[in-house]
Structure 1
Amino acid sequence: MVQRRSNRTGLPWLVAVTVLLLTAGCGSKEEPATPPVSAAPQTGIQAAVMEIKASEVPIRVEVTGQVAAVYQAVLSSRVQGTIDKLWVREGAQVAKGQKLIELDNRDLEAELARAAAEVDNARAHLDRMSTLYKQDAVSKQEMENATRGFKVAEAARKAVLAQLSYTIVKAPFDGVITEKKVEEGELASPGQPLLKMEDPSRLRLEATVAEGDLKAVSRGDKIPVTIDALGGQVLSGVVSQILPAGDPQTHTFTVKVDLPRTPGLKTGMFGRLQLDKGTSRTIVLPSSAVVERGELTSVFVVGSDRIARLRWVKTGRRLDGRIEILSGLNEGERVLTDAVRGADGAVVQVVNGQ
């Protein structure tokens, strides 16, 4: 009986020891806790910032056109004949009245000789009738018939002379030959284009303007015209003509702007002009404050905590070294003036403000 009591007393102690050993063994397998990682120090930059303010900028519409000559002509013959002489080629400088093309005129020369002979006969007959009429040997009717016959013969001779003059094509003004469509020996028909010429000293830009923008231009206005072929040179043009009838399909009107004499300016060159349609209030930034990466555009916004953060924006027009911001920025915010110095998350030490 005594031995049985001692066994009951040692069992709880054994269980306690076992639990203690298991607890100690499990604790030895746990990994030590990882200490917290401290954040890396932020990059610091020195840069100028500017406060965003909306400003009034002009509303401009760009219109394209081509350079054309004020005076240009397509020369043709009024009679049919073989081209006997071709005196000019493309690029030839010609003067007003200069002979350019001469047609074979042998048939007309023969016709002129016949007409001149008829005039001589009619004059001789008129002289004879006049002498007889003074002698009352012929009637007044016969005298009038002789007079009319002479006038008809003279008119026929003048008509042949006119036809003969049409066999020579002359320059209507001082200019340069731009295109030659025939060669010697070819047959020229009435109305057939033979040569093209223009006056290169007087050129203008012919542009098509939408009907909604037509009110922004008036005759006599001075408009800057950019010629890309001349390295983007800007010329001072003057609106000389606005055609009264527009294109009913495109709803555009032709505007002609006279250009000053400029070395290298030629017909057919591409030109651009800008029409001012008032002003609008918008946000504009210098180009240096904008980062362009492909089709994406961004700026570095500096908050009150002086940390620069990259922000995507939507841009619009480019205005003399400035870029219009359509969305993404608000008035009162600050951005880096020189975006090249920016880094997302960098602490900004403001050098100066604009």
Structure 2
Amino acid sequence: MAAGGVVSMGKRTIALVVTVAAWAWACAEKPVSSPVESPVAVRTIRVRPEAVERRITATGTLEPQARVIVAAQQEGLVTAVRVREGDRVRAGETVVELDDRELQAQLAEEEARRSEAEAQWRRTAALAAEGLVSPAAADSARAAFETAAARTEAIRTRLSFTRIAAPVDGVVTARMVEVGNLAAARSPLLELAAGNGLVLRVPISELDVVRLAVGDAAVVTVDALPGVRVAGRIVRIFPAADSVSRQVTVELGLEGYPAGVRPGFLARAELVIERLAEAMMVPEQAVLRGSEVPFFVYRVVDGKAEVCAVTVGDRIAGRALIRQGLAAGDEVIVEGMARVRPGAPVTVRGEGEGS
């Protein structure tokens, strides 16, 4: 019995092993199914070439076409200042007067001496003609008269300097002297804004100024007058760049402006530095930063998201200029990028033309 029992147990053990092996083989034959990746819903645009203007904005201060300093030509006590800031003056109009009493007295003395010298010269000349005096005496008398006349003329000239006139038409922008002040020779008395208009001088980067030329149009806005847009045009590009800032001064003339616009106001000029006939533009949010490339976009190719490295230019009104990397007709993902990975299937929920 004992032997029969052992044999019976062995048969059951062998049968169990065979059953387990068969089950294991059957499991090994069945392939393990991988989960199917669900497409990500995205929105796209179809890139189309378009005309684009690259613009820059530069800030400066409005100035008159010319600033003219009215100065004293000689020292004198100021007795009258006939204008104030904001007054318009004409060329030749007297604007400041200096005390002339001392010069008037000197002129009276010199005129008397000149008259006496002239009379003496004429008498001597008549005597010389009759042979009563030598020609040298007549020449000496004439020289004395001419010297007296020159001194008289010099006093008259100095006297004219006491009436200081505006050298040009303009508007008084600064008054630096008052009645009772002692004006030194060549000291500034008034400042005039000359010319019929205003100019705006703005600093432009050396990288941009090479794209500008005299005659280029500009749009000027003034901070003090919101909504006012003034037409301008480049009238001068200075010949040298600042050695520190690497900027070049560009002067714009304003082509008509409202009465409220004044010298000294802060203004901004918008200038076109490049016109592109076939620019590729995409919404800014479509451009992503990468670890292996600086910038990229997701392009849809055969229903999958494909990484496309791009070279990005200016950002213009919420859109990015793509210099390199995209071609006309490319389909670029503009929404849903956060859920997309390279090569992932996508479902386009909305598509637009351009951006």
Q: Same fold (TM over 0.5)?
A: yes
| Amino acid in the other structure paired with 1:152 | T
Cα displacement (A) at 1:156: 1.2
Q: How does 1:56-75 map to 2 (within 5 A)?
A: 57-58=52-53, 60=55, 62-75=57-70
Q: 1:351 to 1:60 in 2, by over 3 A?
A: closer
Q: Which runs of 5+ in 1 are unaligned?
A: 10-40, 293-297
| Amino acid in the other structure paired with 1:117 | A
Match of 2:73? 78
Q: How does 1:270-349 map to 2 (within 5 A)?
A: 270-274=267-271, 276-277=273-274, 279=276, 283-285=280-282, 289-291=283-285, 303=300, 316-319=313-316, 322-325=319-322, 333-335=330-332, 348-349=348-349
Structure 1 CA distance for aligned equivalents of residues 325 and 236 of structure 2: 43
Structure 1 CA distance for aligned equivalents of residues 129 and 337 of structure 2: 115
Match of 2:34? none
Q: How does 1:1-354 map to 2 (within 5 A)?
A: 49-53=44-48, 57-58=52-53, 60=55, 62-199=57-194, 201-210=196-205, 213-219=208-214, 221-229=215-223, 230-231=225-226, 233-243=228-238, 245-247=239-241, 249-250=243-244, 252-263=247-258, 264-268=260-264, 269-274=266-271, 276-277=273-274, 279=276, 283-285=280-282, 289-291=283-285, 303=300, 316-319=313-316, 322-325=319-322, 333-335=330-332, 348-350=348-350, 353=353
Please say which of residues 86-95 and 102-111 is displaced more in the overlay. Answer: 86-95
Cα displacement (A) at 1:95: 2.3
| Amino acid in the other structure paired with 1:350 | G
Deviation track 1:187-212 (CA, whole Å, cap 9, x = no partner) reads 11011111111036322222344555
Structure 2 CA distance for aligned equivalents of residues 44 and 149 of structure 1: 110
Structure 2 CA distance for aligned equivalents of residues 321 and 274 of structure 1: 19
Structure 2 CA distance for aligned equivalents of residues 259 and 85 of structure 1: 36
Deviation track 1:15-60 (CA, whole Å, cap 9, x = no partner) reads xxxxxxxxxxxxxxxxxxxxxxxxxx99989x7x421246564555
Cα displacement (A) at 1:85: 0.9
Cα displacement (A) at 1:66: 3.2
With the length of structure 1 as denominator, give the TM-score of the two structures.
0.69
Q: 1:176 to 1:213 in 2, by over 3 A?
A: same
Q: 1:169 to 1:66 in 2, by over 3 A?
A: same
Matched residue of 1:216: which SS?
coil
Q: 1:349 to 1:253 in 2, by over 3 A?
A: closer
Q: What's the % identity of the aligned pairs?
A: 26
Cα displacement (A) at 1:105: 1.4
Matched residue of 2:350: which SS?
strand
Deviation track 1:301-353 (CA, whole Å, cap 9, x = no partner) reads 68579899xx9x9965244674325799887553577x6x9996896543765
Structure 1 CA distance for aligned equivalents of residues 312 and 212 of structure 2: 27
Please say which of residues 228-237 and 147-156 is displaced more in the overlay. Answer: 228-237
Question: Are the aligned partners of 1:201 and 1:261 in contact in 2 as well (CA < 8 Å)?
Answer: no
Structure 2 CA distance for aligned equivalents of residues 150 and 212 of structure 1: 70
Q: 1:139 to 1:271 in 2, by over 3 A?
A: farther
Q: 1:198 to 1:152 in 2, by over 3 A?
A: same
| Amino acid in the other structure paired with 2:320 | I
Deviation track 1:218-274 (CA, whole Å, cap 9, x = no partner) reads 44x23214224243655443333344x525624554433322120133223333242
Question: Are the aligned partners of 1:301 and 1:333 in contact in 2 as well (CA < 8 Å)?
Answer: no
Structure 2 CA distance for aligned equivalents of residues 91 and 347 of structure 1: 69
Structure 2 CA distance for aligned equivalents of residues 58 and 315 of structure 1: 15
How well do the aligned residues superpose, as a CA RMSD in angstroms?
4.6
Structure 2 CA distance for aligned equivalents of residues 265 and 109 of structure 1: 45
Please say which of residues 268-277 and 80-89 is displaced more in the overlay. Answer: 268-277
Question: Are the aligned partners of 1:75 and 1:195 in contact in 2 as well (CA < 8 Å)?
Answer: yes
